[in-house]
Amino acid sequence: MALRVVALAGGVGGAKLADGLAAVLPPQSLTIIVNTGDDFEHLGLAIWPDLDTVMYTLAGLAHPKTGWGRRDETWNFLQTLGELGGPTWFRLGDRDTALHVLRTQQLRAGARPADVVEGLCRQLGIPHTLLPMTEDRVRTMVATDDGELPFQEYFVARACEPKVRGFRFDGAESSAPGRGVLEALHAAEVIIVCPSNPWVSIDPILAVPGIREAVASRPVVAVSPIIAGEAVRGPAAKIFREMGIEPSPLAVAEHYGGLLGGMVIDRADAALRPALESRGLRVRVAQTLMRKPADRRALAEAALDHATSVVNEKVTP
C-alpha cells in the first residue's frame, strides 16, 4: 500500500517532483500544498504563479523549456497591451490570461481560493489534491540593497539583480492554514519537501501559523534544490551567497533546522553524505536533475523509497 504523502512545493523544481510523485502515487495517497506567497494582483487580475505552475505541470500543459506558463502559447494580448502603453514586464500569454480572468471572476463572485483551485484541477483533468497553503493574503517581501521589494518586482521586473538581505512574509502572522491543509499534514505518513527554493517557496508555507508545527510532527524528507553549489534554475544559490551562506545540500539542511529526518541529494554532492549523516539525517544519493518526465518519476521513486526507510526508522522501537 502506498504511503500517504504530503508534498510541499513551489516553483518549477517543486512542480516537476510533484508531477513525478503524481505519476507513481494514486490520488488518495498524495496531497500537494503549494506556496501562495508569490501571488499578486496585476492588471486587475489575481495571478497565482506557483499554483499555476504546479497545475500546468500536472496537466501536461507547462511550457517544455521554461517550465512556467503554457505550451503552445501566443502573445497577442501582451503585444497589444504594449502597443497601448500598458505594462509588459510580467509576461501574460493569451491562454494563461484566460485562466487568470476566469479565476478573478470567480473570486469576485465570492468563491473561496480552495474551491477555485479544486475547480481548475477538475477542468484540467488533475485527479490529485492541490491545496493553497492559506486562503488569506500573504505576500513575500524581499529586503534588498535597493529597499524592500514585492517578490514579483524582485524576481521578474528586476530579474533578481538586487542583493538580498532577508525576507518578510506580509500577512503571515494573521493568516490561517488553507482548508484541508492541517488535516492533510496530520494524516500524512511522510512529508516530502520538494526541490523548491527554501527561502521563497517553502519558508512562506512554514510561516503560516500551525503549519510548521504540523510538519514537525511527521517524518520529513527533503530533496535538495542545490546541486554542486548551484540551483538548477532561479535565485536560490544567489540568495544563499548573499545571505553569507555557501550553497550546498548541507546549507539546505541547516536552513530547515530540525524539521528533516532524511534528505535526497544529487550524485554530484555525494561527498557531503557523511556530514549530513553526522547531523542525524538519513541520506539517499540519486540523480536529482530532472531533464525529462522519466527523470521526475525516477526521482519520485527514489524519494518515496527513502521516505519509507525514514518512516520505518521512526516507528521502530
Residue 73 has pLDDT above 90, yes or no: yes
Residue 1 has pLDDT above 80, yes or no: no
User: For the segment 45-66, what is each residue's pLDDT rounded down to a tens digit?
Assistant: 999 999 999 999 999 999 988 8
DSSP characters over 85-138: T---SS---HHHHHHHHHHHHHHHTT--HHHHHHHHHHHHT--SEEEESBSS--
User: How high is the pLDDT of residue 67?
Assistant: 84
User: How high is the pLDDT of residue 315?
Assistant: 54
User: How high is the pLDDT of residue 213?
Assistant: 97
Q: What's the mean pLDDT when you consider all of the chain?
A: 95
Burial class (CB in 10 A: 0-12, 13-18, 19+), 243: middle
Whether 239 contacts 197, CB under 8 Å: yes
The three grid cell numbers given for residue 143, joined into one nine-digit string = 529586503
Going by C-alpha positions, the residue among 165, 316, 172 that lies closest to residue 245 is 165
User: For the segment 198-231, what is each residue's pLDDT rounded down to a tens digit?
Assistant: 999 999 999 999 999 999 999 999 999 999 999 9
Share of the chain above pLDDT 90, in %: 93
The three grid cell numbers given for residue 244, joined into one nine-digit string = 553569507
User: How high is the pLDDT of residue 317?
Assistant: 42
Going by C-alpha positions, the residue among 184, 238, 201 that lies closest to residue 36 is 201
User: For the segment 169-187, what is each residue's pLDDT rounded down to a tens digit?
Assistant: 999 999 999 999 999 999 9
Whether 176 contacts 207, CB under 8 Å: no
**Is residue 32 helix, strand or coil?**
strand
User: For the segment 86-106, what is each residue's pLDDT rounded down to a tens digit?
Assistant: 999 999 999 999 999 999 999
- pTM score: 0.96
Mean per-residue pLDDT for 259-280? 97
Q: Rounded to an integer, what is the distance from CA 224 to the centroid of its chain?
A: 13
DSSP state, residue 9: E
pLDDT classification of 314: cutoffs 50, 70, 90: low
Dist. CA 15–CA 8, nearest whole Å: 10
